Amino acid sequence: MVVPRVWRSSGDCDRSRTADVTLLAVFDCARPRRNVTARPLLVRGPGPTGRGFRRSLICGGSVLWLAAGLVQGGEWVFPCPTHEIARYTAHRVTEPISIDGRLDEPAWQAAPTSPRFVDIITGEPARFDTRAMVLWDATNLYVAYRVEEPNVRATYTQPNDPIYYDNDIELFVAGSDAYYEFELNAFNTPYEVFFIWEEAYERGGFAQDEEFARSKLRPFNGVGFTTHPRGGRLGQFTWTFPGRKTAVHIDGTINDGSDVDRGWTVEIALPWSGFRWLTTDGRALPPGEGDVWRMDFSRFNIDRAHGPTRDSGGWVWTRHGVWDSHIPECFAFVRFTTQTPSSDRGEANRTTPVQEDLP
């Protein structure tokens, strides 16, 4: 089955376009836009993070609604509608964070939590509860996930094993010329890739660094949305985030179907020093008060809802509307504040701006 065309636009770049294309102008106003037509997407093609479709998506009527989910009124409009994109305030912490996966520090208890994740395509509530939180200090960016899973399972144990065939959580962090993808399964097995926009490879200075030599990079052109106005990416699939620390705590018994588990929690620490290739636009490291970064938080699953429920198995904080995680214009807005988290912890609003000057 072939998915219809995704998006088409013509004419010169215009910052006066309606709100749902404002973010495109930010990335593409250096040159005229060109007509864009999606290449056919075969159902047996890659999943939203660039690897194989999960088997559950290939079965029966799932394929039919998946294709329909990629378009609205015959078209899927790029980028994501601004009013749908999540906003979150990441608070600074002054106390030490122990990366043990338990999330029992007072700072995590006080940090705002995301709403329950929704389906990446439809935006409908996901089968199981998944939520994320972000904190930071002068040394690290901290990200946490709470994952409801009645039968915690994992298979892969070696770094950059294909853990996307397990149930996993995923984090994307975008810079102006590149973005970082990180995944983790319940065995605390990581998978990570550093993607560079090909048009920025020379201009951003990546070509001059040995770790991003052309011989080490592989072309990548998206998944469900293969005609991004910026063009393709170059992926460094052996890159490791310097100094990264992660931990998983399982509330139950892994790979034991004889009991019912509560799920698992994830704790990630990424040193600011490792973000230097995401700051080619001159942004500060660590961020300053009011600085805004784009991040994506998701979970992908072998298990999905049964029956007529439209469950792709991909669950996110902010709906993308298409089976593709690699769209930074759909990533959540994360604003950094030097204020510590309040004790009256609340749920982060999915779409209400945390600052009036946010897009």
| pLDDT tens digits, 204-257 | 999 999 999 999 999 999 998 999 999 999 999 999 999 999 999 999 999 999
- Which pLDDT value is given to residue 24? 28
At residue 15, does pLDDT exceed 50? Answer: no
- Which pLDDT value is given to residue 197? 98
The residue type found at 27 is F
Cα end-to-end distance, the chain, whole Å: 37
Q: What average pLDDT does the chain have?
A: 80
- Which pLDDT value is given to residue 17? 28
Averaged pLDDT for residues 346-353 = 51
- Which pLDDT value is given to residue 77? 75
Averaged pLDDT for residues 101-129 = 96
- Which pLDDT value is given to residue 144? 98
Name the least confident of 76-80, 235-239, 297-301.
Answer: 76-80
CATH code at 83-337: 2.60.40.1190
- Which pLDDT value is given to residue 354? 41
> Scanning the structure block, which residue is given the tokens 């705002």?
112
Confidence band, pLDDT 50/70/90 cuts, at residue 35: very low
Query: CA distances (Å), 53 to each of 42, 96, 194, 265, in order?
Result: 10, 40, 21, 25
- Which pLDDT value is given to residue 334? 98
User: pTM of the prediction?
Assistant: 0.79
SS (H, E, C) 27-47: HHCCCCCCCCCCCCCECCCEC
Give percent of the chain with pLDDT exceeding 70: 73
Rounded distance, CA 272 to CA 279, Å? 10
Confidence band, pLDDT 50/70/90 cuts, at residue 75: low
Q: Which residue has the higher pLDDT, 80 or 130?
A: 130
Structural contact between residues 221 and 324, judged by C-beta atoms closer than 8 angstroms: no
Rounded distance, CA 99 to CA 102, Å? 8
| pLDDT tens digits, 147-198 | 999 999 999 999 999 998 999 999 999 999 999 999 999 999 999 999 999 9
Q: Which residue has the higher pLDDT, 197 or 58?
A: 197
